[in-house]
Amino acid sequence: MCGAYRLTTATEAIRQLFSEDWLWSESAELYEPSARLGPSAKKPGDPANHRLVVRQIEDGTEFATIRWRFEMKWMREKGTRVPINVRSESMWTNGMFKYSARDKRCLVICSGFYEPKGPRGGKRDQYLFSFPEQPVFALGGLWARYRAEDDSFDGFCIVTTRPNDQVGRIHDRMPIILEHEYEWIDWLTGTEDDARQLCEPIERPNLSSELVR
């Protein structure tokens, strides 16, 4: 389960690494680099809520900052815990996620992600996974729009899958890792079959892990 990631790359460097045709939205201007990003707060307007993603809109492909919490109106009404991740095995059939899996897939821009090692419930070692030669890559995500009288926002969750051999030594799940440009395009605009292929635990020879705590 991915519960934290990092994005420490400056704005201009990010824009140069991705397609020049991708739009930089007004909300993307709120992006600030951070060594550790956790799930977003419920409170509207909290500056800690901004997470940089790439998604498809009517005008094309855009960078935007939205919240890391996949919330539905009924969750707040019932006090239900808001998910930050979704399992790739169930996102196509689960009523809460299936429409986003079809039409609202996004790239969660990052420079590394954290996974814990050890039994749950106690203090666990944290490992950072990254590509040393690649300052920015993406994790597969789904986004949705939350609308209510007291708050309105777009939010996302990170899609997880079975771990490949590298991550499996540390944790029993991993986020969908999208390392290459063709993978970014297939996740954003490809068919369901294209996306399902990317949900497999693909080996990443250049992926490294580092004990950080």
Domain boundaries, the chain: 4-211
| DSSP of 147-181 | E-SS-EEEEEEEEEE---HHHHTT-S-EEPEE-SH
Q: What is the pLDDT of residue 150?
A: 67
pLDDT of residue 153: 83
- Which candidate, 93, 96, 86, 53, places its Cα nearest to that of 158? 86
Confidence of residue 124 (pLDDT cuts 50, 70, 90): confident
- Give the dihedral sign, CA 108/83/119/176: negative
Q: Is residue 92 over pLDDT 90?
A: yes
pLDDT of residue 160: 98
Whole-prediction pTM = 0.94
pLDDT at 22: 96
Q: Is 184 a residue whose pLDDT tops 80? A: yes
In this structure, are residues 156 and 108 in contact, taking their beta carbons and an 8 Å threshold?
yes
pLDDT of residue 45: 64
Question: What number of other Cβ atoms are within 10 A of residue 142's Cβ?
Answer: 26
pLDDT(41) > 90:
no
Phi/psi of residue 27, nearest 5 degrees: -70, -25
Angle at 170 between CA 168 and CA 173, to 5 degrees: 55
CATH class of 4-211: alpha beta
Taking the CA atoms of 71, 199, 8 and 54 in sequence, report the sign of the dihedral they define. negative
Q: Which pair of structure tokens corresponds to residue 205?
A: 């020879």
Q: How confident is the model at residue 149 (pLDDT cuts 50, 70, 90)?
A: low
pLDDT at 202 over 70: yes
Q: What is the pLDDT of residue 72?
A: 78
Question: Could you give the C-alpha distances from 211 to 60, 91, 114, 122, 127, in angstroms and in order?
Answer: 39, 31, 10, 17, 5
pLDDT interval class at 164 (50, 70, 90)? very high
Contacts of 128 (CB under 8 A, 6+ apart): 6, 112, 113, 114, 209, 210, 212
Looking at residues 47-52, what average pLDDT do you find? 83
Mean pLDDT of 6-19: 94
Does 123 score more than 90 pLDDT?
no
Direct distance between the N- and C-terminal alpha carbons of the chain, in angstroms, rounded to an integer? 17
Mean pLDDT for 154-172 is 95
Give the residue-averaged pLDDT of 58-70.
93
